[in-house]
């Protein structure tokens, strides 16, 4: 199930877009973060794709759930390593999802 299955809006999203300059050790850390994030209270799902830009969109029940994830000790270590080792640049956007619709070819 590659597309996230989210509840009826409203809910929150974190849009993380990035350009990496180095990948050493990144994939292991990324796998570890996925293992952790799925256990976070209020986590609803995520989608991720990589090209010239990497995009990860995660979905959350509340702003508090997002704050808790960003305050998670292991996630903070990963964020620090992201800035020192992997990312040339990134943008984090926090947004409130107001509407959602889906298409599925029968």
Count residues binding its own copies (CB under 8 A): 41
Rounded CA-CA distance 80/76 in Å is 6
Taking CB under 8 A as the rule, does residue 29 contact its own copies? no
Q: Which of 54, 60, 65, 69: binder of its own copies (CB under 8 A)?
A: 54
Taking CB under 8 A as the rule, does residue 88 contact its own copies? yes
Taking CB under 8 A as the rule, does residue 41 contact its own copies? no
Rounded CA-CA distance 65/106 in Å is 34
Taking CB under 8 A as the rule, does residue 38 contact its own copies? no
Q: Which residues contact 76 (CB under 8 A, 6 or more apart)?
A: 70
From 24-32, 33-41, 70-78, 86-94, give the range in contact with its own copies by CB under 8 A. Answer: 86-94
Asked whether the beta carbons of 61 and 42 are under 8 A apart, the reply is yes
In this structure, how many other beta carbons lie within 10 angstroms of the beta carbon of residue 84?
A: 9
Q: Which of 28, 71, 73, 99: binder of its own copies (CB under 8 A)?
A: 99
């Amino acid at each position: 199930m590659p597309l996230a299955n989210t509840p009826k809006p409203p809910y929150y999203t974190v849009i993380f877009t990035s350009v990496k300059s180095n990948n050493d050790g990144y994939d292991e850390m990324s796998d570890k973060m996925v293992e952790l994030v799925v256990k976070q209270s209020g986590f609803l799902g995520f989608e991720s794709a990589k090209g010239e830009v990497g995009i990860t969109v995660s979905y959350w029940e509340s702003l508090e759930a997002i704050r808790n994830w960003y305050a998670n000790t292991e996630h903070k270590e990963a964020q620090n390593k992201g800035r020192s080792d992997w990312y040339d640049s990134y943008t984090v956007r926090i947004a409130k999802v107001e509407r959602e619709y889906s298409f599925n070819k029968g």
